Structure 1
Amino acid sequence: MTELQNEVVDCESQQEVSDYAKSINDWLPVTSSRKAKWWYSAIHNITCMVGAGILGLPYAMSQLGWGPGVTVLVLSWAITFYTLWQMVEMHEIVPGKRFDRYHELGQYAFGEKLGLWIIVPQQLMVQAGCDIVYMVTGGRSLMKFYNIVSPNGTPIKLSYFIMIFASVQFFLSNLPNFNSITTVSCAAAVMSLSYSAIAWIASAIKGVEPDVSYGNRFSTTPGQTFGFLSGLGTMAFAFSGHNVVLEIQATIPSTPEKPSKKPMWKGAFVAYIVVAICYFSVAFVGYLVFGNTVDDNILISLEKPDWLIAAANLFVVIHVIGSYQVFAMPVFDMLESFLVLKRKFKPSRTLRIVTRSSYVALTMFIGIAFPFFGSLLSVLGGVAFAPTSYYIPCIIWLIICKPKKYSLSWFCNWFCIIFGVALTILAPIGAIRELIIEAKSYKFFS
């Protein structure tokens, strides 16, 4: 065979590989549609950031106290706002290439194998962990709604409410990609704003409790110490949107004249302003009104009026339905990529149904088996959320962009890294102690 014929064969082979890769990308949920607008970014970011964890912020404030609580919450918002901007900027930092997934950016920075090992376990821990928490939260909120509207009704176990919530997820999980869940995500975003507003407005109307105290809620020194550390984790858990930001940006069209970062940042900016309004109002007003007696869910502390609390719990259910899907979609993408590219399964509807239904079933089973999984908020906040939201973007920025040593950018990134690493180390300690205490009285599948 002549040299020219060899080149022709090579070109045809490369074209076949390129066409196959494109066909797979057109099938996978993250890259199958690139028609999103800037407000898609705003909706999805609000849905995944303003989560049910916001209802625990007044409780975290009671664990930390006014000074540390305000400081940690404001610093967390500012740091994650900065790292979110970094993620958006780095999506197309290499000309002609898009990092459509968090692990792809990690692989570019750390290397093909090391990047996968650093990013994928962290990302899966956050996304699957959130979905399990949402299973439990959705079930609990359904149960609260039922108990309020039917106080004399037949008692129903939490497990059955979790199954009801999961049945909705079995159906929605068949939607193919991010753009197809926009309506669900939009409803979830509206609901998150609604129950956040109910939480702080109802607290403000109720007024400060006559015997309110802002002293430490724990009577012993170990309790104070571990409670403080647990509060740090709960704060960190509230900032989780970075785990899906590149995947959301992948749905936005991009050209050299109009790169995706412009509409993406516009939506992300709007989302973070909404985050600030919701987080600060719920955290500060809730703690101001109830002090150190506030429950780990501010809606429980409110109690009255019944119709308002029932509505708020229904809003929570609708919100976590959408949040579950926003966090699950990148997991579906990982699973389907692995099965098709590594295990050579043929892309098909059957493969998609089996894969996604198995994931929903697994999260449902864990949620039913361990209904106190919400106590893992602080563990997840420290171990997984702090790295992926607080400092891994900064490390990648230092590797790729190489800011001048001792410049403002260099100092900002190192401050974020030190703050985030401290959260990673300290936050899980208090939460693990709480889990051990709860586990002593726990009955499996109760």
Structure 2
Amino acid sequence: MGEMGEPDYRQVMPLSPSPSPSPSNTKTIEGLMEVISIKDSTDPSKESTTISTNLQGHRKNLQEAWLPITESRNGNSIYAMFHLLCSGIGFQALFLPVAFATLGWAWGIICLSLAFAWQLYTIFILVQLHELVPGIRYSRYLQLAIVSFGPKLGKLLALFPVMYSSGGACVLMIINGGHTLDLLFKTICDFEATCHVQSLTGTESFLVFTCMAILVAQLPNLNSMVGVSLIGAITAIGYCTLILVLSITKSRPVDISYGQFDVVKSYMEKISDILNALGIIALAFKGHNLILEIQGTLPSNQRHTSYKPICDTLVLACCGSDWLAMDLIKEELVDRRQEENAQYRVPFSGGLLSAFSQIHGANTSKLIMGSIYLLVLVNYLCGFQVYAMPVFDNLEMRYTTKKKKPCPKWVRTCLRIFFGGVAFFVAVAVPFLGSLAPLIGGMVLPMTFAYPCFMWIAMKKPRPNGVVWSINFWLGCLGIVFSVLIVIAAAWTLADKGLNANFFRP
């Protein structure tokens, strides 16, 4: 769905490595793109070309203007920052203490910092590839993967990571949002005699959260959700700050110490625990696939591309999210109990939020705890919208490709209700999805740390064995190796220790 919006570009630049594309490559490019002439409004004698996918044979392809990611390009740096903060801060940070409990404070900081620098580098690769060919914009991660690796290989490599990063994140938000809703209810009622309302079951909590999320999801496109993203960013910063301040002001429990867990383990168990922790850290950067979509909402013309506005917000948004994540790792949440010589474990279900509730919930006022739960709940509702947008876009793309017309309002509503129903079903069927965080983090790791490096080589074609080529090639290979090792370690841990697979029992 690369599209052109600039005058005086009459030819598509070849994406093949050779000056003259081979017949197979020509067929690939033609299958991906369609060149259409559109008269410029300022000068009827001038023409511009538009590149898009699907609807082959039509003289004028407006599909990009029909899809929710690209139908509005009136965004700016401020809007983009709201989207980045909303998707970058949230449940990812709440899971980080699970990794720090294994790695310890020092190695946890080192690994998180290295992962942050690595993913920041690959982010800048993606934003540069967004408008690599003058006038052509690649506004979706899957689209860029297809152009870089070819239709078959691109879909094979990127389809699952992209779909999981979007749909899987929404399922996790339903699970964690339902649990947070239950905690909020119990905090408000506190089992008082005056509270006659019966607590919701797990399934009912998931359903209530899903209904609220789908109600908010009726906003038409990503730009129209800027207010939702703003609320999501504010609530994320709000509850992170509250947890941080309360952790500092409250004294550490006497049975929690600062130090790594030193119970004797086998060599394989230690390696497996470390790789699982690295998988959780990789999962913390799972909003990576949204960068191109967010950049796709920014305006672009021949003089001013979207590269500078998105760069103006990237460093601030990424640094802000990682700074808050680092501050949330408090010593009393990642270490061991001295008296029992047993490691204090941050639970997978709810992560830091559940751990904080267990440690400080009893001696914290109901108002403060209720405020934290409410902020977390609102943040999940807002984050759901940003992560679900690529799925909505893909569903509407299939409809518009087949019908060759934009989605009517009722069809758009039905598609989003359908997705909400599927996500709700998966959440109820697999409520232990958070326990699979290391395994899933390893599977989607290449999308963040490896694929962008190979995309740069495929599209920019730096000199083979040169400095730039070598950096990207070896970083990409290292990302693939880490992904394989983390998946193996996570699978070995599940096989060795088992999994509490409470199917359909949220």
Give TM-score scaled by structure 1 length: 0.89
Amino acid at match of 2:159: V
**8 A contact 2:336–2:344 mirrored in 1:** yes
**8 A contact 2:72–2:221 mirrored in 1:** yes
How far apart in 1 are the matches of 2:153 and 2:405? 26
Tell me the residue number matched to 2:476.
417
Superposition deviation, residue 288 in structure 1: 6.5
**8 A contact 1:203–1:285 mirrored in 2:** no
Bigger mean CA offset, 245-254 vs 271-280: 271-280
Q: Please list the CA deviations of residues 92-115 of structure 1 after superposition, one character each: whole Å capped at 9, or x if unmatched.
A: 010121111112211221123332
- Equivalent of residue 375 in structure 2, options 303, 310, 315: 315
Pairs within 5 Å for 1:313-392: 313-342=373-402, 347-384=407-444, 386-392=445-451
Tell me the residue number matched to 1:299.
353
How far apart in 2 are the matches of 1:430 and 1:424? 10
Highest relative contact order (Cα 8 Å, sep 6+), 1 or 2?
Answer: 1
How far apart in 1 are the matches of 2:230 and 2:59? 34
Secondary structure of the 2:136 match is coil
Q: Please list the CA deviations of residues 411-440 of structure 1 after superposition, one character each: whole Å capped at 9, or x if unmatched.
A: 432343244223311223444456565645
Tell me the residue number matched to 1:193.
237
How far apart in 2 are the matches of 1:443 and 1:97? 46
Bigger mean CA offset, 278-287 vs 44-53: 278-287
Superposition deviation, residue 286 in structure 1: 5.8
How far apart in 2 are the matches of 1:352 and 1:331? 12
Q: Please list the CA deviations of residues 261-302 of structure 1 after superposition, one character each: whole Å capped at 9, or x if unmatched.
A: 111111222211212211221135565787841523223333
How far apart in 1 are the matches of 2:133 and 2:336? 50
**8 A contact 2:104–2:334 mirrored in 1:** no
**8 A contact 1:336–1:352 mirrored in 2:** yes
Superposition deviation, residue 162 in structure 1: 0.9
How far apart in 2 are the matches of 1:149 and 1:438? 36
1:205 equivalent in alignment to 2:270: no
Amino acid at match of 1:215: Q
**8 A contact 1:88–1:245 mirrored in 2:** yes
Secondary structure of the 2:440 match is helix
Tell me the residue number matched to 1:21.
61
Superposition deviation, residue 343 in structure 1: 6.6
* Residues 148, 428 of structure 1: alpha-carbon distance in 2 compared, 3 angstrom cutoff: farther
**8 A contact 1:58–1:287 mirrored in 2:** yes
**8 A contact 1:88–1:264 mirrored in 2:** yes
Pairs within 5 Å for 1:166-181: 166-181=210-225
Q: Please list the CA deviations of residues 389-422 of structure 1 after superposition, one character each: whole Å capped at 9, or x if unmatched.
A: 1111111011112233454433432343244223
- Equivalent of residue 150 in structure 1, options 189, 205, 210: 189
* Residues 11, 256 of structure 1: alpha-carbon distance in 2 compared, 3 angstrom cutoff: closer
| Gap regions ≥5 residues in structure 1 | 1-9
Tell me the residue number matched to 1:215.
260
- Equivalent of residue 80 in structure 1, options 119, 124, 144: 119
- Equivalent of residue 302 in structure 2, options 243, 246, 256: 256
Secondary structure of the 1:35 match is coil
How far apart in 1 are the matches of 2:37 and 2:81? 42
Tell me the residue number matched to 1:428.
487
- Equivalent of residue 281 in structure 2, options 223, 235, 243: 235
* Residues 441, 320 of structure 1: alpha-carbon distance in 2 compared, 3 angstrom cutoff: closer
How far apart in 2 are the matches of 1:131 and 1:224? 32
- C-alpha RMSD of the superposition: 2.6
Amino acid at match of 2:66: W
How far apart in 2 are the matches of 1:224 and 1:101? 39
Amino acid at match of 1:427: I
Tell me the residue number matched to 2:83.
44
- Equivalent of residue 103 in structure 1, options 126, 142, 163: 142
Bigger mean CA offset, 153-162 vs 414-423: 414-423
Q: Please list the CA deviations of residues 128-167 of structure 1 after superposition, one character each: whole Å capped at 9, or x if unmatched.
A: 1111101101111111111112121533212111111101
Tell me the residue number matched to 1:5.
none
1:246 equivalent in alignment to 2:285: no
Q: Please list the CA deviations of residues 78-127 of structure 1 after superposition, one character each: whole Å capped at 9, or x if unmatched.
A: 00011111111111010121111112211221123332332222201221
**8 A contact 1:209–1:289 mirrored in 2:** no
Greater radius of gyration (CA): 2
**8 A contact 1:107–1:115 mirrored in 2:** yes
How far apart in 2 are the matches of 1:31 and 1:18? 20
Percent sequence identity is 26
* Residues 117, 155 of structure 1: alpha-carbon distance in 2 compared, 3 angstrom cutoff: same
Bigger mean CA offset, 341-350 vs 421-430: 341-350
**8 A contact 2:260–2:336 mirrored in 1:** no
| Gap regions ≥5 residues in structure 2 | 1-35, 39-48, 51-55, 338-342
**8 A contact 1:128–1:328 mirrored in 2:** yes
Tell me the residue number matched to 1:61.
100
Task: Give the paired residue count.
Answer: 434
1:270 equivalent in alignment to 2:330: no
How far apart in 2 are the matches of 1:289 and 1:204? 16
Give TM-score scaled by structure 2 length: 0.79
Tell me the residue number matched to 1:32.
71
Pairs within 5 Å for 1:119-134: 119-134=158-173
**8 A contact 1:217–1:293 mirrored in 2:** no
Secondary structure of the 2:450 match is helix
Bigger mean CA offset, 62-71 vs 237-246: 62-71
Bigger mean CA offset, 183-192 vs 168-177: 168-177
